[in-house]
A and B are shown apart, each in its own frame.
Chain A
Amino acid sequence: MNDTLLAEVAADVLAPVTPQDADGHLPEVWATIAELGWPLVSIPENSGGSGGCLADLLALVGAVAEHGVSAPLAEAALARWALAGTERADLPGLVVPAWEDSTGALRGVAWARHARNLLVWPRNGTPYLVDLTAPGVLVEPGANLAAEPRDTVTVPDDARTPLPEAPARSAATSRAALLTAAAITGAARGAHEITRTHVTRRNQFGRPLIAVKAVANALAGMRTELVSTQAALDRACDVHTADPARAEAATATVKIRAAHAATSVARSAHQLHGAMGVTREHSLHHVTRKLWAWRDEHGSEREWSSRLGRTAVIVGQDGVWDELTAPA
C-alpha cells in the first residue's frame, strides 16, 4: 500500500479514539482494527492475509502506539505471521505469542487473558499451540509499566498441540523485537509531538517555552532520536523483507537504538512538560509509560549489545562491515 494512503487510513481509525490506559482491557478500537485486518497485513492475500508489506505493518503498529493506544496489534500480527502457511492459519479469535523462559514457565505473556489461543515457543523443541479455554489452563493476570496485560500462564502437558511447521524461535523473537522497535518509534513520535505542541503553546516568563534556548535544544535532541531510530527501523525492515535469516544484526541495531531513544525521549518529554506531565489527567503518560515498558521487552539494549559485540569480535571488521552494508 502507498505510504500516504496507509497513514490516512490509520489516522481515520485512530483520530477519534481517546487514549486510555489499558488497565487490563482491550480498547474499543481493537474491534475495528481486527475487522480491518491489520493483524494480517504483510501476509499475502492468497495465504489468507491482508496483503501489503512488512513496512505497512510496522507503520500501523507505529501509528497505534503514536496515538497512545494499547492494543495487541504487534502480538496478533506476529502470531498470524507464524500461523500463515500452517494448517492452523484460520484459527479463530485472538492468538498471541508466548516464549518459555529458562525454567519452562510462561511469564509476561502479552494480552493472554483476552486471547483464545497461545502460540508458544519453547527454548528448544517444537512450537506448540494452547487453547486457552481448555481445562486446566490457568491465566494469572499481571501488567507491565504501561498497565498492559502481561500474564502468567500455566499449561498442563495434554493441552499442548505441537505445530512443527511454525517458524523457529529465533526467527520469531527477531520479528517480535522488530515489531517492538516499531511500536517504540511510534510512541516516541507521539511523545515528541505532544511535547512540541506544549512548548510552542505554553507561555512562561512572558514568552513561549520554545523561546528558551535550552528548551528548543532539548526538543531538537528528541528529534535526532526520532530521525535516527526511524532510519534504523527502515533498514531493519528492508533486511527482514529481503532475508530474515540474516536479520539479526539489523534487528539488534534497531532494538538497541529504540531502547536508548525510549529512555531519552521520555526523559526530555517529562522535563519539558514540567510538573504537568506527571499527572494522570495529562495525555503524555499514555506514550511515555509505553516507552519505559517496551524498551525492555524482547531484549534490553544490554542484552542485544552483548550479542552484537560478541558476534563482532568473532566475525572481525570485514564481517561487521559486510553485514552493515549488505544490500537489503
Chain B
Amino acid sequence: MTDRTELRHRVRDLCRGWQDEGRYRPRPDAWLRSFDLDFSRELARRGWIGMTWPRHLGGAEQSNVDRLVVTEELLRAGAPVAAHWIGDRQIGPSILRHGTPELQREILPGISSGDHVLCLGMSEPEAGSDLAAVRTTAERTDGGWRVNGRKIWTSHAHRATHSYLLARTERTERKHDGLTEFVVDMDSRGVTVTPIVDMAGSHHFNEVVFEDVFVPAGRVIGVAGQGWRQVTEQLAHERGGPERVLSTYPVLAGLLDATAELDAGLLVELGELVARLGVLRAMCVRVAEALDTGVAPVREAATLKYLGTEFERDVLEFARTAANPGVLAPDDPLGGAILAAPGFSIRGGSSEVLLSILAKQEAP
C-alpha cells in the first residue's frame, strides 16, 4: 500500500469508527453545517489540520495532494468538519503567505490544534459577491485600528474565536485599492453576533456587527491597502477544494449502496454522474498539484467551482428522480440538501461571477 492509500484508510477508519459509535451521522454539506469541536480536535491530534504548514507552526509539512486525500475522505464520509474548515482551508494559508512571523505564531498553531475557530468576515448586505464594495471601515488609531461595519452570512460566527475581516482602510479612486485584511478576536468589545436562520431551519449563518472595535496593528494580514490582491489569491484556495464537488456526496453514496433496481435510463444518468465526479476529482488533484508547485491556480479553481456546484445540484435532482420519494421531510438528508442547494452556486463566488472571471482570462 502506498503512503497515500494508507493515509486514506486511516481517515476512513476514523470516520467509520465515529459513525459506528453513533457520534455523528453523515450528512450533505457537512463542511458548512456539521460542527463538532471534539471531532476537529481528534483530527488535530492526528496532524490533519494545517497539515501542509511548517512544523514550528503546528503543521505536518505534507503536500497539498496529501491534504486532498484527507479532505476528500472526510467529505465523502459526511464528517462534522465545520469547526476547522475555514481556518484550515483558507485563513491559515493566507496568514502563512502574507502574515508577519508574529501573527503566524499567534494564530496558526491554535488553528492546527483545533483551539482557534475562524469565521469569514467578507460578505456584506450591500456588497454581496462584490467584495470591492465592502463598506466596513478600519481607521488608524493608537497602536492599531478602529473597525466599524456589518458583515453577513458569516458561518459559525457564534462559535468562532477569531474572524477574518476585510475592511476599507482608504477611500481611493479605484475601489479595488485601499482594502485591508485583519484577524479580529471575536470576544473583542464591540463585536455583536446575531443568528440568521436559513430556509432549511438551520443556524450557521450570522450577522456580525463591529462597533468601534479595536484591532491591534499586528493583526493586519500582509500589507494595508493590498487586501484585494491578497483576497483574490485566497479565493483560489477557497474555490479549488473538493468541498465544491462533494457537498452532496453522501446522497450519491446512499443511492449507490441502496439501489437495487434502476431502469436503463437511470443507469445511464447514474453513469454520467459517476463520470462527472471522476472528471471533477481529477481537477481537484490538478489544483492540489498546482498549489504544491507554488502556483495560485486561479483559472482551474474557478472552473472547478463552476462545474462542481453544478454537479452537486444535479446529484440532488438525480436522487429525487431515482428515489421517487412522494413525501420528502425537511430533516431527511436529501430534503435538507435540496433546501440548502441554492447556496451552492453562490458561496465562494456566484456561478455568474466565476464565468466572468473566466471570460476575463480569455480576453487578449
Interface residues of A (CB under 8 A from B): 196, 200, 210, 213, 216-217, 219-221, 223-224, 227-229, 231-232, 234-235, 249-250, 252-254, 256-257, 301-302, 304-310, 312-313, 316-317, 320-321, 324-325, 327
A234 lies within 8 A of B282 (CB): yes
Report the interface size for chain B: residues with CB under 8 A from the other chain: 48
Question: How far is it, in angstroms, between the C-alpha of A229 and the C-alpha of B276 when the chains are bound?
Answer: 10
- Report if B324 contacts A (CB, 8 A): no
- Per-position contact with A for B186-205: 1 when CB-CB < 8 Å, else 0? 00000000000000000000
User: What is the chain B residue whose CB lies nearest that of A256?
Assistant: B275
Could you tell me if B359 and A312 are in contact, using CB atoms closer than 8 angstroms?
A: no
Given A231-B279, A313-B262, A324-B281, CB of A224 within 8 Å of CB of B271: no
A217 touches B257 (CB 8 A): no
B363 interface contact, C-beta 8 A:
yes
> Is B307 a contact partner of A219 (Cβ separation < 8 A)?
no
Whether A324 lies near B278 (C-beta < 8 A) is yes
Beyond known contacts A216-B360, A235-B278, A313-B270: 15 more, CB 8 A cutoff: A213-B356, A216-B362, A221-B355, A223-B358, A223-B362, A227-B300, A252-B271, A254-B279, A257-B276, A305-B272, A308-B272, A312-B256, A313-B267, A324-B278, A325-B8
Chain B's closest residue to A216 (CB) is B359
Least CB separation from A219: chain B residue: B362
Chain B residues near A321: list those with CB within 8 A. 76, 253
Please tell me if the beta carbons of A308 and B274 are within 8 angstroms of each other in the complex.
Answer: yes
Closest to B364 in A: A200
- Our count of residue pairs bridging A and B at CB distance below 8 angstroms stands at 136
Known A217-B355, A232-B279, A234-B286: A305·B268 in contact at CB below 8 Å: yes
B360 / chain A contacts, CB cutoff of 8 Å: 216
Per DSSP, chain A at the interface is helix
Interface centre among B262, B272, B274 (most CB of A within 10 A): B274
Query: Is there an interface contact between A310 and B267, defined as CB atoms closer than 8 Å?
Result: yes
**What are 24 contact pairs spanning A and B, CB under 8 A?**
A196-B362, A200-B364, A210-B363, A213-B356, A220-B361, A223-B358, A224-B307, A231-B283, A234-B282, A235-B285, A253-B274, A256-B271, A301-B272, A302-B268, A305-B268, A306-B264, A307-B271, A308-B274, A309-B262, A310-B271, A316-B257, A317-B254, A324-B277, A324-B278
> For A249, what are the chain B residues with a Cβ–Cβ distance below 8 Å?
274, 278
Residues of B within 8 Å of A216, CB to CB, are 356, 359-360, 362-363
When A216-B363, A231-B286, A235-B285 are in contact, do A224 and B358 touch as well, CB less than 8 Å?
yes
Nearest CB in chain A: distance from B255 CB, A: 8
B: which residues have CB within 8 A of A? 2, 4-5, 8, 69, 72, 76, 252-254, 256-257, 259, 262, 264, 266-272, 274-283, 285-286, 299-300, 303, 306-307, 355-356, 358-364
Q: A320 near B274 (CB under 8 angstroms)?
A: yes
On chain A, the residues within 8 Å of B362 by CB distance are 196, 210, 216, 219-220, 223
B275 near A317 with CB under 8 A, answer no
- List chain A residues, Cβ under 8 A from B272: 256, 301, 305, 308-309
Contact in complex: B256, A327 (CB < 8 Å)? no
CB-CB under 8 A from A320, the residues of chain B are 256, 274, 277
Pick the contact of B269: A221, A309, A325 (CB < 8 A): A309
With a CB–CB cut-off of 8 A, which chain A residues contact B358?
220, 223-224
* Docked CA distance A186–B1 (Å): 36
A315 to B60, CA, bound (A): 35
Query: Which residues does chain A contribute within 8 Å of B279, judged by CB atoms?
Result: 228-229, 231-232, 253-254, 257
Question: Which of B5, B277, B286 meets A327, CB within 8 Å?
Answer: B5
B271 near A227: Cβ-Cβ < 8 Å: no
Give the chain A neighbours of B267 by CB distance below 8 A. Answer: 305-306, 309-310, 313
Q: Would A227 and B274 count as touching, CB distance under 8 A?
A: no
Contact status B271-A309, CB under 8 Å: yes
Given A309-B274, A324-B277, A327-B5: A317 in contact with B257 (beta carbons within 8 A)? yes
User: Which residue of B76, B262, B275, B299 contacts A308 across the interface (Cβ within 8 Å)?
Assistant: B275
State which of B253, B257, B276, B299 has its C-beta within 8 Å of the C-beta of A227: B299
Q: Which of A221, A234, A308, A324 contacts B271 (CB 8 A)?
A: A308
Are A316 and B271 in touch, CB under 8 angstroms?
no
Q: How far is the CB of A118 from chain B (nearest CB, A)?
A: 31
The 6 closest A-B pairs by CB, nearest first: A309-B271, A305-B271, A308-B271, A309-B267, A220-B358, A216-B359
User: Which B residue sits closest to A210, measured CB to CB?
Assistant: B363
Residues of B within 8 A of A313 (CB): 256, 259, 262, 267, 270
Contacts of A217 in B (CB 8 A): 355-356, 359
User: Are B256 and A316 closer than 8 Å at their CB atoms?
Assistant: yes
B257: A residues at CB distance < 8 A: 316-317
Nearest A residue to B277 by beta-carbon distance? Answer: A324
Q: How far is the CA of A324 from the CA of B2 in the complex (A)?
A: 16
Residues from chain B with a CB closer than 8 A to the CB of A229 are 279
Give the complex CA separation of A250 and B270 in angstroms: 15
Q: Smallest CB–CB gap between A226 and chain B, Å?
A: 9
Selected from A213, A224, A235, A310, the residue in CB contact (under 8 A) with B282 is A235
CB-based nearest B residue for A226: B303
Report the separation of the CA atoms of residues A213 and B363 in the bound assembly, to the nearest whole angstrom: 12
Chain B residues near A223: list those with CB within 8 A.
Answer: 299, 303, 358, 361-362
